[in-house]
Structure 1
Amino acid sequence: MRHFLQKFSPARILLAIFLFFVLFSGKAAVGASSSASILYDKARVAYHSLLKSKKRMQRRDQWVAVIDKFDSVYSKFSSSGEAYKAVFTIGDLYEQLYSISRRDKDLDEALEYYRLIVSEFKPGRLTDDALYRQGEIYFNRGKYTAALDSYQEILQILPGGDVAPKAKVRVAKIRPLVPVAFPSSKTPATIRKISTRRNEKINLSIGNELILDKIDYTVGSDSVRVVTHTSSPVVFSQGRLSNPSRVYINFNDTRLANDVNRNIKVGSRFLKSLRISQFDESNSRLVFDLNKVGSLKVGVWQEGSQLTVELSDKGAGTATAQKVVKTQKKVKSKAARVKPVAKKIIKRVSVKKERAPAKRIPVRRASRERALKAVNKKVPLIVVDAGHGGKDLGARGERGLKEKDVNLDIALRLKDILQSRYKYKVILTRSDDTFIPLPGRGKIANDNEADVFVSVHANAAQRHAAHGIETYYLGAGHSEDAKKTAARENGELVKSVKDGQVQEILASLISTTKINDSSRLASSIQNELYQSMRKKYSGIKDLGVKEGPFFVLHDTDMPSVLVEVGFVTNKKEEKRLKQSSYLHTLASSIAKGIVEFVQENDPMI
């Protein structure tokens, strides 16, 4: 008995218990790892299956289904190696989807997930790839400062990685494009010292930019209210994203400091967390990670320099007693580091849901006033341009049909439909058989601060069998057909300018953001045209969305496209283009495409 007790002494018993727990926890970890691997492998199989089917790749829901599978890996096993790979793959999927959809939102999603790789995981073999792809997206958008930041971060955290040589090349190429007066957000700037004494007022506006000062949030039983404070009234845009469910607010010309806490955990039944990031070198984005609430209502309003976002239950009445208000200090200045301010706990009895009347906004610079006016206007303004006119006949069909007459007929119908059916404001560049020089057409749109510019044309070709519908946005126009079409529509303007010079002029005038928006507008109109026309008429050919060097598009400040509704040189299409019902269907389809783009570009949330 004594020998037995000695054999199982307290020390040995404790050791046995310790070994048991180590063994048990090890098996649990292995089990979790195994489950993550199984889930990731299933997602990977779905990924490769999608890429093998060109038919499935044309359907958005197929891409989203695969993305959901990888997102499930990240949601369930967020700290695993499989989650790290899944997040990168989601970014890759959205980037590939963008190449088909040409929707800026898809590219924004790719950026979100590439950023997640850097912010949520330890540096690994995919981190430099995520940073490089992030840099490429910024570079292609003309956001050179943000691109430079991404490439330089590769050299800082993974200087010996396989992507570092490419990053060095990019840094050397981009650095001359970044203005010296506007250093990258990662690079300290030499600045004057600013006092940070409590009683001393500090001007937080720097140049033309605003500073996001702080974010307050209040959690109630049936609502969450988030208030952002900026140094001056801010121009903003908003939208909703799915998979997972999110609301975002973009703050234009607004900067964040490098040391800002980018993630704020909220944990209400409406809202999981808030994420703030420097979306590019001049704009910041606030993301609301939502919990799944079917009756969730989102309200957004601005009062002076405060922007309020309220999430609430559609069925709930006045908000009840509030729980806690947490204040997270954000950016004080690009030019000065401010000591962290302790979080404040403030008790509030209630928050009225009725919107308070907006305070009068102080008069600011003309550009700021124009931007605020553009954001706050409720009715979209569309400029419709009927191509050619007057002495400029445009193309002519074998049976005498003049392009200028077709263009005007469709433009007048399009105006009526947009005004009567969708309550949009519409301005025509010409409402009768008048000649208007090409440089003057874009000016009409700019002077009226239009939201969209659409130029209506009919096509022509030496080959009389050529037929179909196509939509163009501004670009180099690499195909011979695009160049010929542009040369015909540009008319006298290109006869005295060599092709190489045309390309140089266009390259200097093209705005990357405008082109991205214009390509989406073109896709929306082209899709509606083809789908609507083929249901009613046989032999409709989809010639697709193309880029071309059209002078009528180059000097507009807003998304702009040129629609070719058919070939007057094709007997069948010339006959149809004389029919009132056919022209009405064309106009109605173009209108639907415009409306779809406007609603997607500036959604109400």
Structure 2
Amino acid sequence: MPVVSKITKSKGMGIFKSFFTGILIALVCFVSPEPGFAAKGKAASPDALYEKARNSYYQVLDSPTAKLDRQNWLKTIALFQAVVDQYPSSHQAYKATFTQGLLSLEMNKLSGSAEDENRAIEYFNRVVTRFAPGRLTDDALMHQATLFKNRGEMGASRARLQLLIDKFPKGDQISTARKELKILSKLASVKPSTTIADNPPTPSGRKKEASTETKVDSTHSHSTHSHGKEISGKKKSTVSKPSASKKTLAKNVRLFGLAYENGNQIARVMLNAEGPVKFTQQRLDNPDRVQVTFENGTWDPNMEKVVTLESGILTHVEPKKGDKKSSILMVEMTGAGPVSVTTRSVGNQFVLEFEAIQKAAELEQVIPRAPPIAAKPRKKNGKTLIVLDPGHGGKDEGAKGRTGILEKQVNLEISKRVRKILEKRYKYRVELTRTRDTFIELKDRGDLANKLNADLFVSIHANAAPRKSARGIETYYLGAGAGDRALETAARENGELVGSVEDDEVQQILASLISTTKINESARLAADVQKRLSGVMPRKFSKVLDLGVKEGPFYVLHRTNMPSILIEVGFLTNKFEERRLQNTSYQYWLAESIAQGIHRFIREKGPSI
């Protein structure tokens, strides 16, 4: 371990502390009053009105039971309308109108009402027509295009997509818009009798089954389980035209892009196909699960074998090989209560939607207190940017195991795996502070993230301790450090650079100069990542110890301007964990857990409102 130099305490230190304490007091005095409180006798500012509406939005969004009450959504829409009414030309009104569209979409998911769908289309139309183009305008056009497409109004959908492509060629929706327009153009060349749009509604209001060769599937199959009892059997549908023979189906159609959303009330599993596929769906018991068999589908070779989920309706999503030339998607549920399952398709995307069936008593629960609101990470060229920092490198080897394995090697391997998952599955932009065995100063790592204007900074390390039995996984965010263990870890990772900052009061002053928002968001990011690590790893491997989330005075975190954490994935000085950290499967599941935690943090920030 590197030697930690110590600072000499003197009167100069007292002056140093007094100077920074004065700065802190001045900053506190200079801060403007909280935006939620308007001066007496004056109208609320657009920021204050908007913040009030956004608080209501998060109260409803974060409560599984509050979501089910339509009045909660309508009240929140009204709060956003107050922003529009009082400040119709403001940027807050622009964002408020877009959010009203999102809220109407949420209501439509619960009610299936055409009124809510029309309401959403109208709000998104106002975003496009009443305000100057902004970063949400192309999103509004895409929402409109999707809604029109789902209703079978293909001409209106194509018009919105073409407008998006013409007006926002550098927007974050451009790639999706081009793909969707290509699909709709193919659909337009198919005879009207073979498309979903031209099927007359059945007496129940649902359109009859139909499909085209450009869609994965165009039927909606629905099943419900109540306490493990099967209600529905297999649901079959094909992708070929009604008059087409089985030979028209292509063989080995690639299945790719597996994604999921796992909430306590609603969960979805989505995947894409490169061509027409035929599938069967089956609900199975013990455990409660859904099996979808794609008779002519083949999984992309880069697809993850098993995805373990947490804190929602679903527990596992597993793509696997079936009999002969088929492929199977197995989705397992918690079995905690009755769940309805709906199968549908959007373009070439296959969607399984799971919805928990609430009991009457649960619907009467009140809305809980809203969590602290923090701004969503900024976007660069339409994508969130994450900087991953493989700790140490080059002449700085980090910790060393008994067998000679070096921390710098482990850190880089895991970081590369995390990058692959974040880029391929979640479509984030990812940069590494190093991609090979090179030495980089600690200050340069944080400076790189700042220069790139990154949204998140995640430093990945392996731990070490004099006590050989020490083991476990822990995640840190910047703080003074609560305990000797945290300070020891920080001293080891800081090396000789900031080991001199050993005085507790100086550490506290250092931490207090960092933005409170950054600290709070870093703590949340650390909690999300550690929750995934402690939830996934013990399920896959025995004797995995959760050491929790901690504060620490890490220099590399101090340098960054964005939410930042440092993960210690295990102890190389522990013989058992050293062996595991060299195992590729163990590295994969560490990376999987870290990526899931990062995605959860970004996703739970809510829409860009």
TM-score range for the pair, normalised by the shorter chain length: 0.3 to 0.5
Normalised TM-score (structure 2): 0.46
Give the alignment's TM-score, normalised by structure 1.
Answer: 0.46
